[in-house]
Amino acid sequence: MPEQKDQKLAERNIPGAMNRGQRFAEVQHAENVKGTLKRIAVYFVREKAIVFGMLAIVIFGTLCGVFAPALQSSAIDIIAKSKSGNLSVTLIIMLTVYLLYSASQLFQALISAKLSQRIVKRMREELFGKLLDLPVRYLDTHSHGDVMSRMTNDIENISSTVSQSLPSLFSGVLTIIGTVAIMLWYCWQLALLSFATVFLTVIATKFLSKNVRKFSRKRQSLLGRLNGTVEEMVSGYRTVCAYNHQDITTEEFCQTADSLTKAGIKTDIFSGVMGPVMNCIGNIGFVIIAAFGGYFSVNGLISVGVISAFIVYAKQFSRPINEIANVYGQLQTAIAGAERVFTVLDETNEDMSGETLRNSERAEVVFKNVQFSYVKDRPILKNFSLTVPSGKKVALVGATGSGKTTVVNLLMRFYDIDSGEILINKQNIINASRENIRKNIAIVLQDTVLFSDTIENNLKYAKADAGLNEIREAAEMSCCREMIEALPQGFDTVLVGSGENISQGQRQLLAIARAFIADPKILILDEATSNVDTRTEKAIQNAMHKVMENRTSIIIAHRLSTIRDADIIVVMDKGQIVESGNHDELLSQKGKYYDLYMTQYAGMDI
């Protein structure tokens, strides 16, 4: 739930934990367009066979498009008897050329679509793989909605650009080159007069494209923020309703949506106006050809057929310029999206290197003078020292924000300490690989995470080769076998929406069963029974006694009833240990633990 996540972040003192809006702060974008284009080009190089095939078809289609008006000019001159030739043959050739041109356009669309999907598939796989390799700190400090937007919206923009805009760009450039060459060959004087409109095109494009790029980047950033808002609202909908925050949430959403709308309107205005401006400039070119072409024809410099061809070539010359202008906005949006994708790909991976923990039946955990802060100069743990003897149960209790969950984060190496040492069997974990550390530790979090898959596969997530008997035994020990078998498909029941079709308590039981299957040397229970009723909690405790027997266990709990039988209870306050001992010893001291206990069980017999 959102308030639970904020509570965790508050403990970590991560910027944005206190101010919900800050977590959706606008992402900074790289402005190195040339560098981004070079990186995009790498993906095209990997698909060079398809790229060369598409280029071959584009070149062939361009030649057909340039050659067809010349045949039309010849046909008109033959009809006007200013040129000799076979009209029927000329018309047949012209028809054939136009049919080949149309066929080339069809194949160009098909190949560009295939190229687009292959490039986007590769890019999406790289981005998804990168997300799995990122350190926990990155995902803790970035809006999940914005990260998802890069995976979906930004990559989809790149896909549509590759399939639609790039073919138009390639064919447009080649058409311009071919058209210019043949116009100069027919009548260089009229060609130069026609090209005068190019300067107007360049000036208009430069002005408009600058604004298109500016607002398209802003639009993408706002879209990521909007997705983050929606994702948080959907996941925390019950909390929104419970606290009557519908109006406030709607207002926040509308503010972001309004900003997105304004940025989108400005982007569409500047990109959309390019077409009409280019058409206007093209019409000016037609006037020039009609006026000066007629003059040159009267003076015998060119024929009527050449004027006709020039009109077609002028349109053919302006059309790709218009297309390039029209797709320029989409190209800029795709470049902005690629920058955002590459920003994630450039993040430093979580370092998984290191030595293997020594194989031992023991699992003693020692914290020595550990200092840690999520934000510089705002320490969470201060000179923290703790020994968790092998095979013993150590419980961490204390007020919210005292650093209990941080201890677990450091042991799992989700974060690395600032100073001090954390030892497992006298081996410093800073030198051990994160993968190996996590293979030896199983953790059950307060925020249960299940996947949209069968219950059996969710339980096997901890151990892929776990057999059915092993799974059933774990389910029995965690008091959820009866619940699972009561479902319509039993262990084959598919969890919908990551477990939305079962209760929160049932999800917690499955998470505990999954940890049992892992058979770890070290077991961490972070508020593992917080979402179950008292009767189920008692049953789980009985099962835990068996599972935690001769196993090093660290228990984080607010409900003190779950840790009364712990070998050592550590009371934390402001990142330091203020008391430690067993339940009876701490009660007799009448200190912090006594106050916590009496707060929960006031009036009950101690």
Quickly list DSSP for 67-112: HHHHHHHHHHHHHTTSS-S-HHHHHHHHHHHHHHHHHHHHHHHHHH
Distance CA 236, CA 192 (A): 65
- Does residue 12 register a pLDDT over 70? no
- Does residue 320 register a pLDDT over 70? yes
Q: What are 401-431's pLDDT values in tens digits?
A: 888 889 999 999 999 999 999 999 989 999 9
- Does residue 329 register a pLDDT over 70? no
Q: What are 48-60's pLDDT values in tens digits?
A: 888 888 889 988 9
pLDDT at 4: 40
Distance CA 253, CA 240 (A): 13
> Across residues 170-174, what is the average pLDDT?
81
- Does residue 103 register a pLDDT over 90? yes
Check: CB of residue 520 under 8 Å from CB of residue 462: no
Helix (H, G, I), strand (E, B) or coil at 63: helix
The pLDDT confidence band at residue 513, using thresholds 50, 70 and 90, is confident
The pLDDT confidence band at residue 10, using thresholds 50, 70 and 90, is very low
pTM higher than 0.85, yes or no?
no
pLDDT at 387: 93
- Does residue 29 register a pLDDT over 70? no
pLDDT at 25: 33
- Does residue 22 register a pLDDT over 60? no
Exposed, middle or buried: residue 581 (CB in 10 Å: 0-12, 13-18, 19+)?
middle
Distance CA 467, CA 464 (A): 9
For residue 389, what is the DSSP state?
A: -
- Does residue 27 register a pLDDT over 60? no
Q: Which of 176-190, 227-241, 538-552, 572-586 has the highest mean pLDDT?
A: 572-586
Exposed, middle or buried: residue 50 (CB in 10 Å: 0-12, 13-18, 19+)?
middle
pLDDT at 193: 78
Q: Which of 16-30, 205-219, 560-574 has the highest mean pLDDT?
A: 560-574
| Least confident span in 184-198, 253-267, 380-394, 460-474 | 184-198
Whole-Å CA distances, 171 to 54, 183, 227:
10, 18, 36
- Higher confidence at residue 197 or residue 525? 525
Q: What are 520-575's pLDDT values in tens digits?
A: 889 888 876 666 666 666 766 666 676 677 789 898 887 787 788 889 999 998 88
| Residue recorded with tokens 């779950």 | 562
pLDDT at 421: 93
Provide the mean pLDDT of the chain. Answer: 80
| Least confident span in 262-266, 367-371, 524-528 | 524-528
Residue among 344, 429, 380 at smallest CA distance from 130: 344
- Does residue 26 register a pLDDT over 50? no
pLDDT at 16: 35
pLDDT at 23: 32
Distance CA 373, CA 404 (A): 13
- Higher confidence at residue 10 or residue 299? 299
- Does residue 131 register a pLDDT over 80? yes
pLDDT at 385: 93
- Does residue 606 register a pLDDT over 50? no
pLDDT at 163: 78
Q: What are 451-492's pLDDT values in tens digits?
A: 888 888 888 888 888 888 888 888 887 778 888 888 888 888
Sheet holding 427-428, edge to edge: 381-388, 365-372, 419-424, 427-428
Residue among 10, 29, 12 at smallest CA distance from 20: 10
pLDDT at 236: 76
> Across residues 320-326, what is the average pLDDT?
68
- Higher confidence at residue 435 or residue 242? 435
